[in-house]
Each structure stands twice: as structure tokens, then as C-alpha cells.
Amino acid sequence: MTISSETRQFRYYDFVMAAYVCILLCSNLIGPAKEASIHVPVLGTVTFLAGVLFFPISYIFGDILTEVYGYARDRRVVWAGFGALAFASLMAAAVVHLPSSDASRATQAAVETIFGNTPRIVLASIMAFLCGTFVNSYVLAKMKIWTRGRWLWTRIFGSTLCGELVDSVIFYFVAFYGRMPSPHLVELLFTNYGLKSGWEIVATPLTYRVVAFLKRAENEDYYDIATNFTPFSLKA
């Protein structure tokens, strides 16, 4: 176990942050534009928002960041992602509402469909992201101490199930409550929760390999023993 200082430089931390923010933006801006349905044997037709195929990757990165670099450094990445997501939402709203030229007027409806998320959807996305991600990181950091660094899979599963549940409940109820029948809302919520959690659990072997590589390369394996877990800080 090593203790990081705020001024310590890491070889791969910035790359992981950039990948995290990229995945977060793509899954929130591109994914919600389409609701997909596929037929699954035994289960029948499963309906989900396309973004759930990619959004769980951001949680995988969150697990990796917390496991290797600690909660505080993951917290900085989360706030970087929040800033990027907030700016992207503002930019999307500006693009949609700018007056169209004669040449682009025919495509305005398509632009509104893809990027014209309502303020309610934007608020739901940001609230769910912040709450779910911080819960995921907090649970993993605490479980690492409780397990003394053993059984990484328990931390991955436990943090995923908690974080994704908070994320899904907040997003679907804030975004869609009152806009669709309650049975359909609950079905969509738990279907997407199952898909996102299952995706991350299936990816556990890959998470193991990335964590092992980064711990060796960075000579870091952080334990959040004396960490201040407030989300409202950028201190590493």
C-alpha cells in the first residue's frame, strides 16, 4: 500500500480521465436519442435506451480509478466529467435553437430529435450521473478497506449494483415520471438497470487486467483510510 501526495505525477491518470469523459459524453449525447427493442430467448422482447450499452463503461473506469488512485482522484475525474456534460448540454441547446439557414432548414427536425433534450432530461442525466457515480466510488473505496484489498470482484459487483441502482432510479423518475404509464416506466427502469449492471459484471475480467496493469505501472494501490468523502471538493 502506498500513499499518494497531491503533487505526485502518474503516467496514465490523464489518459484514463480523457477516456472517461469521452465515454460519458458519447453515451449521454448519442445514446438517449434511440429506444431499442430486441428479442431475447426466454425473456422475450427487451426494450432499452441505446446509451445503456456504453454508459456502464464509465462505471468501469470509475472502479479502476478508485481502486488504483483512490476516491479523491476519482472525484476530480467525476467533476471533470460533470463540467464536460454540462457544457455539452448547453452547446446542444444552443445549436438546436439557433435560427436555421435555408440550406439547413430541412434537417432542423432531425437535429431537434437527436440533440433537443428537454431541460428535464438534462437535469435527470446530470443528477443521476453525479449521485450514482459518487455512490459507486464510495462503496468501492469502503469495501476495499473492509476486505483489506482482497476479492476485487466483490467490490466491483457491490459498487456496481449500488451505483447503477441510484443512477437508474434518479434518471428514469426525474426524466419520465408522469410522461409514460407507471408500469412501463418501472419495466424500463429495471430492464436498463439489469443491462447496465450485467454489462459491467461481464467486463470484470477486463477490469482485473487493467487494474493489475495500472497498479504495476503506477506503483500505486491506494487505500482511502483517512479520506474525506465529501463530493464537494477537488482536493486529491
Residue 3 predicted with pLDDT over 60: no
Q: In this structure, are residues 119 and 170 in contact, taking their beta carbons and an 8 Å threshold?
A: no
Distances (CA, A) of 165 to 87, 97, 112, 210, 227: 26, 34, 30, 25, 24
Q: What is the mean pLDDT of the chain?
A: 89
Nearest to 78 by CA among 130, 125, 27: 130
- Residues 56-100 pLDDT 10s: 899 999 999 999 999 999 999 999 999 999 998 888 888 888 998
The residue whose grid cell reads 432499452 is: 48
Domains of the chain: 13-35+51-96+112-218 (1.10.1760)
Query: What is the model's pLDDT at position 2?
Result: 47
- Residues 118-175 pLDDT 10s: 678 888 889 999 999 999 999 999 999 999 999 999 999 999 999 999 999 999 899 8
Which cell goes with 215? 497498479
Q: Give the predicted TM-score (pTM) of the model.
A: 0.88
